[in-house]
Structure 1
Amino acid sequence: NEVPGGWNGSWTSKFLTVPEKTNYARTTSSFEVQEFINVLKWNSPNVSVINMFTSGLRKVGSAVVLANPRVTTPEEARASGKPVIYLQGNIHPPEAEAKEALLMLMREILFGKKKNLLNDLIIICCPCFNVDGNDTWSTNDGTPHFLGTRTNALNFDLNRDAIKLETIEVNGLYRTIFNRWDPVLIYDGHAMGRIRHGYAIVYATSTVPAAHPEPRNYVFHTMFPSLRGSVRKNFGLEVFTHCDFDTENWPPTVWSHDKAAWTTEAKFVAAAYGLRNRMTILAETPGYPDFQRKIYAHYALISEILGFSAKHGKEMVKICQDADKDVVDKVLGKAESGELKNFIEGKYESWGKIDLLAYQKNEGLLIPGTSVRARSSAEALGKPELIPNVEHLTKPVGTREATVPRGYLIPSGLGFVADKLRLQNVKVEVLAKPVRAAGEEFIIDKLLKLPRSGYQMVKLEGGF
């Protein structure tokens, strides 16, 4: 739970966040987020605000554009030549740490020691994405004393809607940020439960096998090792990949994305965005440290991500642009003949053996004299064990592929499908006159309904 004294600077009262004002006993409401954004607007010439959506409970989800000189449109951002970075917190309100870290970072970028980041970057911050869930309060064991609920007002898990796009919130994100500003990198902040690894925060990138591999390879093989070193050097924290291990057996032998619910599917926002040939990072703190420590961990990692991006932004943009060109060239050159294939399913294989920081035990204990289960066992507050020769099961590998066609013909009666594709930034044209084309039709043999996380999922069985 230790953090360095004065790590968040010294600020006058108007610039303090709710946790700072309450000794980290409270987290910020959606209205208090708006109040904080208003303070930034009134005290800096480098702020513009995007209202991404109005929620089911009529609350505005806001994103803040930080730029020097100020920009208010994607066209101005592109003209600047600076890469755009999108940072998001609170898609799951019980995981409020990234929300608070982003408020502090916006303050530091505009008025503190991180002003220089705006020399090289345009930074868009959405501290409180799930505004309705944020304000559906319940008591919490530990700090903060009150937290929101995971889902939105309609009981949808917003981080399962990246492909279906059925929620107001995720539709707004795609419409106003992803499709218009085209960030080269996005960050999505989370927290895990009472896990037993020994890291202050863990990270993952998109591992959808259908996505072009070069953006994710750059994040995993170039960016992550650099972040691991700089976070350790500048903030004194150990960070590593977002995984977990089999808690039934000790010592662990496998460190796997699967165990931490990360997947080769594209249902998560930070997974699906990789399908656009862009870079993504999801990061999660352990759930059991106190609130300030978890905020500090997100603050540290995001700080180093921004520092890396400021230094290597043009390289990052080129990798993504090259991936775009490669995909287009392959479709134009191979799709019409039926030669072009891509993956529709995947799994994880090992990159090799690693040494892992882990705890054998991490029990939640009652604080004496209370009914609050917020203490950790002594083992989990000390130095973790270093476990050698653990398989690092995070390498995405395609297991099933399909032919990529030159295009699709959509009947006019299925216009809603075209609208959904456009929201995913897929180009859909309306034919001006009748045409004749040869192709294949998918014949549905069976329709299976699979309700998950509030969504009515459907699986179609059949063939072309």
Structure 2
Amino acid sequence: MKKILLLVFLFPIVSFAQEVMPPLIPWNGKSETLLVEKSNPWITPGELSNLTESPTYEETYQWIKKLADSSPLLQLKSLGKSEQGRDIWMLLASASQTFDAASLKASEKPLIFFHGGIHAGEIDGKDAGMMLLRDIIHGNKGDLLEMADILFIPILNVDGHERRSPYGRVNQRGPAEMGWRTNAQNLNLNRDFSKIETAGVRAVVEVINEYQPDLYVDVHVTDGADYQYDITYGYVKTGGYSPAVSKFLSDTFQPEVDQALEDWGHIPGPLLFAANGRDFSAGNVAFSFSPRFSHTYGDVRHLPSILIENHSLKPFRQRVLGTYVFMEQAIKTMASHFEAVQQAIEKDQNQAKESLAVKFKFRDAPADTMDFKGVASRKEKSEITGGEYVVWEGKAISQQVPSLLMDVPVQTVPIPKAYWISSEWGEVIEKLQIHGIEMEALTEAKELKLEYSKVTDFKMVAQPYEGLMRVQDFDSEKIYRTQTLLPGSVRVKTDQDLGELIVILLEPESVDSFFQWGYFNSIFSQTEYMETYIMEPMIAQMLEEDPDLKKEFEAKKEAEPEFAQNPRRVYRWFYEKTPYFDQNWKVIPVGREW
């Protein structure tokens, strides 16, 4: 009985969160005309509520199945099961009425791939895509399929989507019920593109490999500060791996999409991250995201990729309509400039690959300033905590805000001819295969001399990140060794379209390498040890037979008095110089062929 009373008492307080959000700047835009009448037989479930609600997984499936069944221009396909056994559905749309990957890849039209709900509470892309495909099939937008073929996943994180409630995202204005950011295993899909631990991201990567789309769009909703922009989006503009694609997105794609959004009554902007974590007085930060994120994964694959971040403090209705406008114009722009897109992709795939930057830092000074469409704010002292917090006032202001770019290479690695991975590391080999990376597998044993990295010092993270114990800091040295690789071991050549991705995944210095993600953590365990009653006579024999070793030992004792006074360290020093010492200890098992 007490528990029931407690819940009744708490819920009214929690449900008050939507009512204490910052005040809204009134909005009405031309895009409101995209909503159909309630009498329309193809009205979406979201439109029935005037885009204040978003349908459940089952309601979404039933609607898209009905839509697909109504037209030969559509096909509904399952991409596999989620961790809880739900299908991950994708709609394919093509005027040719042929949906196999070979036909879509061979088409003279661009192939557009977009999805909603990688973070299931940020579901704008689902409702926008349903409206857009409805208008293509049963409305006045049929000409869009003459311009491009479309792949659309309404809900990527299907399990997180069904963990829905009014309390999904405390800082987001709708829909009425929102899903959860992570999947059923509490993994964040948009931290998974390098390691591929989730069914959702595996589905995305398999779609990219199988269909080879020409544009990939991942639709999110922001966290953070207030501002006037409702549709913000970005791509790897500088400091990336596809400079020709970045130039196309910057010079052609963004201006056309921004103009369309403005024409339809929206305020487009770049990705926005307050440098001080509160407001934009200290500048906007353009991070160098690593390829664990969707749009940077696309960049390293030379796939034009966009990350949409609709503003969480704008109403769901406004955000969905803006996403619709974005997607429609993206189709038109890609169709108008398809040859230029193809040329950019080919140029990036064929760029020189002698070395690769794997870590970036901020520029010493701001790159420039931007005319920022901000919202007035003030700082108040909290009577609860005693600290300061920001209060947004709902008044439009203009600011000059510095742009802080994180695009200066701080670590670069040379690219070998190939990498070798021995057969016992099958999980890593399988992940490379899922990425679509070409490799040759040995059918018989082969002796090779290869370069390896040996860890000399390391530090692990204090707690798991995305379920894995990452290597936080480390030092290493290069060693050469000859060893026999058994059948099943693979050679991964770097002279292929995904060469940069290979380096990102296999070079230890890369922040998204399999090494730093913890897939080789077992190399840090030492399983054979010495006994002092063996080492004592063995050391005496070693010193008697090797004068140079004796000199080295005496010099070390003189230079390091604490070493000389520590018997365990002395034994260990000698043990490491014997052939009994584990030669694989702390050696990262990725060999380089030069």
Does the pair score TM above 0.5? yes
Residue equivalent to 1:343: 357
Q: Tell me, what secondary structure is at the counterpart of 2:122?
A: coil
Distance 1:154 1:224, change over 3 A: same
SS of structure 2 residue aligned to 1:398: strand
Matched, 1:315 2:346: no
Any idea what SS the aligned residue of 1:193 has?
coil
Retained in 2: the 8 A contact 1:264–1:347? Answer: no
3-state DSSP of counterpart to 2:314: coil
CA contact (8 A) 1:208 1:265 kept: no
Partner in structure 1 of residue 376 of structure 2: 360
- Quote the Cα distance in structure 1 between the aligned partners of 2:270 and 2:73: 34
In the alignment, what sits opposite 1:292?
317
* Equivalent residue, structure 2, for 1:305: 330
Change in CA separation of 1:360 and 1:282 when aligned onto 2, cut-off 3 Å: same
2:470 maps to 1:457: yes
Residue matched to 2:28: 2
Return the offset for 1:429: 0.9
> Does the CA contact (< 8 Å) of 1:197 and 1:244 recur in 2?
no
Specify the SS of the correspondent of 2:297.
helix
Answer whether contact 2:35 2:47 (CA < 8 A) is retained.
no
- In 2 relative to 1, CA 456–300 (structure 1 residues): closer, same or farther, beyond 3 Å? farther
Of 396, 421, 434, 1:423 maps to 434
Q: Distance in 2 between matches of 1:322 and 1:422?
A: 24
Unaligned runs of 5+ in 1: 332-339, 364-376
- Aligned partners of 1:12, 1:398: CA distance in 2, in Å? 57
Aligned to 1:386: 398
Q: Distance in 2 between matches of 1:399 and 1:240?
A: 29
Structure 2 residue identity aligned to 1:254? G
| Farther-moved stretch of structure 1 (277-286 vs 191-200) | 191-200
Bigger Cα displacement from structure 2, 149-158 vs 199-208:
199-208
**What is the CA RMSD across the aligned residues, in angstroms?**
2.5
Residue 97, structure 1, aligned to residue 124, structure 2:
yes
For 1:214-225, list aligned pairs within 5 A: 214-225=244-255
Give secondary structure in 1 for the equivalent of 2:424. Answer: helix
Question: In 2, Cα distance between the equivalents of 1:283 and 1:248?
Answer: 20
What is residue 206 of structure 1 aligned with on the other side? 236
- The amino acid that maps onto 2:454 is I
Task: Give the share of equivalent positions with the same residue, in percent.
Answer: 21
Who is 1:133 aligned against? 160
Is the CA contact (8 Å cut-off) linking 1:15 and 1:39 kept in structure 2? Answer: no
The superposition leaves residues 303-334 of structure 1 with CA deviations (integer Å, 9 ceiling, x where unpaired) of 221221121122112210221122xxx34xxx
Which segment is superposed worse, 31-40 or 241-250? 241-250
Give the Cα separation in 1 of the matches to 2:78 and 2:238: 30
**Pair 1:155–1:207, CA change in 2 (3 A):** farther
CA distance in 2 between counterparts of 1:251 and 1:90 reads 28
Q: Is the 8 A contact 2:286 2:406 kept in 1?
A: no
User: For residues 392 and 49 of structure 1, do their structure 2 counterparts lie closer, same or farther at Cα, with a shift above 3 Å needed?
Assistant: same
For structure 2, the residue ranges without an aligned partner over 5 or more in a row are 1-26, 380-390, 479-594
Alignment match of 2:215 (pick from 167, 172, 185): 185
* Secondary structure, aligned partner of 1:379: strand
Q: In the alignment, does 2:202 pair up with 1:154?
A: no
Residue 255, structure 1, aligned to residue 284, structure 2 = yes
Q: Which amino acid aligns with 1:128?
A: I
Asked if 2 retains the 8 angstrom alpha-carbon contact of 1:82 and 1:120, the reply is yes
Q: CA deviation at 1:180?
A: 0.5
In the other structure, the counterpart of 2:524 is none
Query: Is the 1:208–1:266 contact (alpha carbons within 8 Å) kept by the matching residues of 2?
Result: no
Q: Deviations over 1:19-61 (max 9, x none)?
A: 2112333211111121121121121111112311201211101
Once the two structures are superposed, what CA deviation does each residue of 1:211-248 show, in whole Å capped at 9, x if it has no partner? 23221232133321222222212x12121110232468
Shift in Å, 1:361: 2.4
**Which is worse superposed, 86-95 or 249-258?**
249-258
Q: Is the 8 A contact 2:235 2:307 kept in 1?
A: yes
**Equivalence for 1:173:** 204
CA distance in 1, matches of 2:203, 2:45: 27
Shift of 1:189: 0.6
Tell me how far apart the structure 1 counterparts of residues 160 and 218 of structure 2 sit (CA, whole Å): 16
SS in 2 for 1:172: helix
**Matched residue of 1:413: which SS?**
coil
- The one of 408, 411, 429 aligned to 1:397: 408
Letter in 2 for 1:342: L
In structure 2, relative to structure 1, the CA distance for the partners of 1:456 and 1:50 (3 Å cut) is farther
Offset of residue 14 of structure 1? 4.0
Structure 1 residue 237 and structure 2 residue 266: aligned? yes
Deviation at 1:437, TM superposition (A): 4.4
Q: SS of the residue aligned with 1:273?
A: helix
CA separation of 1:47/1:341 partners in 2, compared to 1, >3 Å: closer, same or farther?
same
Letter in 1 for 2:200: E
Task: Note the C-alpha offset of 1:13.
Answer: 4.7
Q: CA deviation at 1:12?
A: 4.8
- Deviation, structure 1 residue 109: 2.1
Equivalent residue, structure 2, for 1:445: 456
Instruction: Write the letter of the residue equivalent to 2:332.
Output: G
Mapped contact 2:65–2:76 kept (Cα < 8 A): no
Bigger drift between 88-97 and 343-352 goes to 343-352
The SS at the match of 1:266 is coil
Query: What secondary structure does 1:75 align onto?
Result: helix
CA shift for structure 1 position 456: 3.7
> Deviations 1:99-124 (Å, cap 9, x if unpaired)?
11111111122222322121121110
Q: Which residue number corresponds to residue 370 of structure 1?
A: none
Distance across 2 between alignment mates of 1:284 and 1:79: 32
Alpha-carbon distance change, 264 to 18 in structure 1, aligned in 2, over 3 angstroms: same
What letter matches 1:60 in structure 2? D
- Could you tell me how far apart the structure 2 residues matched to 1:294 and 1:358 are? 18
- The CA distance in 2 between the partners of 1:184 and 1:362, in whole Å, is 44
- Could you report, residue by residue, the CA deviation over 1:430-458 in whole angstroms, capped at 9, with x for unpaired residues? 13445554431111234544322444434
Moved more, 152-161 or 95-104: 95-104
Structure with higher Rg: it is 2
Do 1:47 and 1:67's aligned partners in 2 also have CA atoms closer than 8 Å? yes
Pair 274,360 (structure 1): closer, same or farther in 2 beyond 3 Å: same
Cα distance in structure 2, aligned partners of 1:362 and 1:440: 58
The range that moved more, 242-251 or 224-233, is 242-251
TM value normalised by structure 1: 0.86
What's the CA shift for 1:92? 0.8
| Contact 1:195–1:286, Cα closer than 8 Å, also in 2 | no
Note if contact 1:3-1:296 (Cα within 8 Å) is conserved in structure 2: no
Distance in 2 between the 1:77 and 1:50 partners? Answer: 15
Is the alpha carbon distance of 1:93 and 1:110 closer, same or farther for their aligned partners in structure 2, counting shifts above 3 Å?
A: same
The corresponding residue for 2:531 is: none
CA contact (8 A) 1:202 1:285 kept: yes
